[in-house]
């Protein structure tokens, strides 16, 4: 059993031992062992040339890492929070995601941007950004959002080996979560969802931290006689729509759970694709559960209500399956 943060560290360390081109940089990743202790001990093993503390200048160190990726290195950039990535939006979206296209294939950008995404527990509105709705809109990048330690390690190893830029979104609230992680090496392919729970009455499709809200809701609904199938997409760029479609064709109803705001979100894209692919199989329209359409509140009680929690998911499933 490993904590989520330890699974991330194992993935990075194993890939750095395997490939001398891989290095880690970001604020406090070296001397302080990482703001959330994800990189604990890595400076001792790999030294200051490969575990690099940076100034508080996300645009500067993101741009530097992109330049090094163009010249053959494979950097891992840690954003202490994805909220801070907003000041680096130009290099990570205009350069990293477009470099292969803009250079006519001359320069790739094998780089991983990783860090904490979404409401982290009373961090306030400006430190609680859920950025997948913003960044997944841009072609040329991949986006992985793990929900447990097993997937955190397997997806991160895949991300580090990928030749395209990968946005790897973690949750501060899950860093201490423990789960089984195999000792043998494994990688999880992008675009391959996993079935977390079988069911017959409703498909719940989600990813990241909301997977746990969905599982909690499914357990409660089972006591009411409603059987929910829970699918964890794992990545939303690429998105495994085929697995979701197969499930929806069998259950006839679907709830999409996404911790992004609803307008222009990955959840709205998924719902649109389900409607297009499963129109004749649906007994009701796809119901979506998102964070409330307001800035993230600071108060713990309000933050919990703002998120797509189990109670709200249960209400959505009841609405989707009513008279279905």
pLDDT tens sequence across 244-292:
999 999 999 999 999 999 999 999 999 999 999 999 999 999 999 999 9
Task: Look at residues 117, 147, 179 and tell me which one is the last residue of a structural domain.
Answer: 179
DSSP codes of every residue in 180-206:
---SS-----TT--EEEE--SSEEEEE
Whether residue 171 is found in the same domain as residue 219: no
Task: Look at residues 144, 179, 214 and tell me which one is the last residue of a structural domain.
Answer: 179
CB atoms within 10 A of CB 323: 5
Note whether 324 and 200 are within 8 A (CB). Answer: no
- Which of these, 107, 106, 113, 102, lies nearest to 139 by C-alpha position? 102
pLDDT tens sequence across 192-224:
999 999 999 999 999 999 999 999 999 999 999
CA torsion sign for 86, 71, 5, 34 is negative
Whether residue 48 is found in the same domain as residue 108: yes
Active-site annotation, residues? 58, 127
Rounded to whole angstroms, the Cα distance separating 192 from 190 reads 6
Whether residue 38 is found in the same domain as residue 168: yes
Whether residue 47 is found in the same domain as residue 135: yes
pLDDT tens sequence across 59-93:
999 999 999 999 999 999 999 999 999 999 999 99
pLDDT at residue 323 is higher than 70: no
Whether residue 99 is found in the same domain as residue 234: no
Say which CATH number the domain at 14 has: 3.40.50.970
Whether residue 295 is found in the same domain as residue 250: yes
Record the pTM: 0.96
- Which of these, 29, 30, 120, lies nearest to 82 by C-alpha position? 120
The parent domain of residue 241 ranges over 194-321
pLDDT at residue 4 is higher than 70: yes
Rounded to whole angstroms, the Cα distance separating 320 from 310 reads 15
Q: Does residue 294 form part of some domain?
A: yes
pLDDT tens sequence across 105-156:
999 999 999 999 998 888 889 999 999 999 999 999 999 999 999 999 999 9
Lookup result for tokens 């645009």: 59
Q: Does residue 200 form part of some domain?
A: yes
């Amino acid at each position: 059993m490993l904590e989520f943060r330890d699974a991330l560290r194992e993935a990075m360390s194993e890939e750095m031992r395997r490939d001398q081109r891989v290095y880690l940089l970001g604020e406090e990743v070296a001397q302080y062992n990482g703001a959330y202790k994800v990189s604990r001990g890595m400076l001792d093993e790999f030294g200051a040339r490969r575990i690099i503390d940076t100034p508080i200048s996300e645009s500067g160190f993101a741009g530097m890492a992109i330049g090094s990726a163009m010249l053959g290195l494979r950097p891992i950039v840690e954003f202490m929070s994805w909220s801070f990535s907003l000041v680096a939006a130009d290099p990570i979206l205009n350069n990293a995601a477009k470099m292969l296209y803009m250079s006519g294939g001359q320069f790739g950008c094998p780089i991983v941007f990783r860090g904490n995404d979404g409401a982290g527990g009373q961090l306030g509105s400006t430190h609680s950004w859920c950025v997948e709705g913003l960044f997944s809109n841009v072609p040329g990048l991949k986006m992985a959002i793990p929900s447990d330690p097993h997937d955190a390690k397997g997806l991160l190893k895949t991300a580090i080996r990928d030749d395209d830029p990968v946005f790897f979104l973690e949750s501060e609230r899950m860093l201490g979560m423990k789960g089984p992680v195999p000792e043998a090496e494994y990688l999880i392919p992008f675009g391959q969802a996993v079935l977390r729970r079988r069911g017959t009455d409703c498909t719940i499709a989600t990813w990241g931290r909301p997977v746990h809200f969905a599982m909690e809701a499914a357990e409660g609904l089972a006591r009411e006689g409603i059987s929910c199938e829970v699918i964890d997409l794992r990545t939303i760029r690429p998105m495994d729509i085929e697995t979701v479609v197969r499930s929806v064709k069998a259950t006839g109803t679907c709830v999409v759970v996404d911790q992004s705001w609803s307008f222009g979100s990955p959840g709205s894209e998924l719902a649109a694709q389900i409607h297009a692919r499963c129109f004749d199989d649906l007994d009701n329209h796809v119901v979506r559960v998102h964070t409330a359409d307001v800035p993230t509140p600071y108060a713990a009680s309000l933050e919990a209500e703002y998120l797509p929690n189990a109670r709200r998911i249960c209400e959505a499933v009841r609405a989707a399956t009513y008279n279905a």
